[in-house]
Every structure is written in C-alpha cells, then in structure tokens.
C-alpha cells in the first residue's frame, strides 16, 4: 500500500481558512470565572484574517472574555472539524461600526451591541482532506 505524501502546514491552513470562510455556525469556547469552559453555539464571519461575532455585552461570553481573552471556535461539518484559537478583543460603538462598515446589532443578546473579534493564532483540524 502506497501512502500519499502529507500536505504541508501552509496547504492545510489554506484549506482550513476556506472551510471556515464557507461556513457561518460554530461553537465558541471561553473560560468561566471558576476556570470551567463556557460554550456558545453562534453565528460568525471569517474574512480570511479575523473571526467576527456580533453579540450583546450582557452575554456570558463577553463577561468571560473581559476576564480572560483566550478563546477557541470549533466549526464542524460532518466528519470535518476545524478549531481556531486566539485572543479576542471586544469592540463597541464607533470602533465596532468602523470594523464592519455599518451599524452593529446584538441579535437576541441583551445589552450594548458588541463585536468579539479575534485573529486565529493556532489551528487544529480533523479530516480536513477527506
């Protein structure tokens, strides 16, 4: 049996970026005050550089990020899963509007409309090549 050559990291990262861009639903993990994980199923956008999530500042995920900005986002489609890790920042008001080019909405979340933005610094994936 001949084993196909392994893809290079840069090739797999490009595939992971395409996978993340093509989807809009994921699971965001943040850390609660006691250190346990908090997970939120949510919609997101990925522009190839940063993940952007609209929410309200009363949401638990925003409160958690204020205490610890490290987050992960898991995106799953069938047997394929890509997980992005990074350090989030919170944007509101004019700064948030400038980031997305218009008014920011909080969806169904209470409080001031807030953007969670992070640039992935680490990727993990499973079955990215089929």
Q: Reduce the secondary structure of 27-51 to three states and give it as a string.
A: EEEEECCCCCEEEEEEECEECCCCE
- As a whole number, the mean pLDDT across the chain is 92
Pairing relation of β-strands 120-126 and 80-87? antiparallel
Question: Residue 5: is its pLDDT beyond 80?
Answer: no
Would you state the pLDDT for residue 87? 98
The residue that leads in pLDDT, 3 or 88, is 88
Q: What is the rounded average pLDDT of the residues 96-100?
A: 93
Which phi and psi (to 5°) does residue 48 adopt?
100, -15
Would you state the pLDDT for residue 7? 75
Among candidate residues 12, 4, 2, 17, the one with its CA nearest the CA of residue 120? 17
- How much of the chain, in percent, has pLDDT values that exceed 90? 76
Would you state the pLDDT for residue 3? 62
- Show the beta-strand stretches assigned E in the chain: 25-31, 37-43, 45-46, 51-56, 70-77, 80-87, 89-91, 113-118, 120-126
Cα 105 versus chain centre, distance: 18
Q: What is the rounded average pLDDT of the residues 91-109?
A: 90
Q: Are 73 and 22 in contact (CB under 8 A)?
A: no
CATH architecture designation of domain 9-126: Roll (2.30)
pLDDT in tens, 24-69: 999 999 999 999 999 999 999 999 999 999 999 999 999 999 999 9
């Amino acid at each position: 049996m001949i084993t196909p050559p392994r893809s290079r990291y840069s090739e797999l990262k490009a595939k992971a970026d395409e996978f993340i861009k093509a989807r809009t639903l994921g699971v965001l993990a943040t850390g609660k005050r006691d250190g346990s994980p908090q997970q939120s199923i949510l919609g997101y956008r990925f522009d190839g550089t940063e993940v952007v999530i609209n929410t309200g500042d009363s949401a638990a995920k925003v409160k958690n990020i204020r205490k610890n900005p490290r987050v992960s986002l898991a995106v799953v489609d069938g047997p394929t899963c890509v997980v992005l890790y990074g350090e989030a920042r919170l944007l509101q008001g004019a700064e948030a509007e400038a980031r997305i080019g218009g008014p920011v909405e909080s969806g169904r979340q209470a409080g001031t409309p807030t953007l969670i933005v992070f640039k992935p610094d680490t990727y993990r994936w499973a079955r990215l090549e089929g």
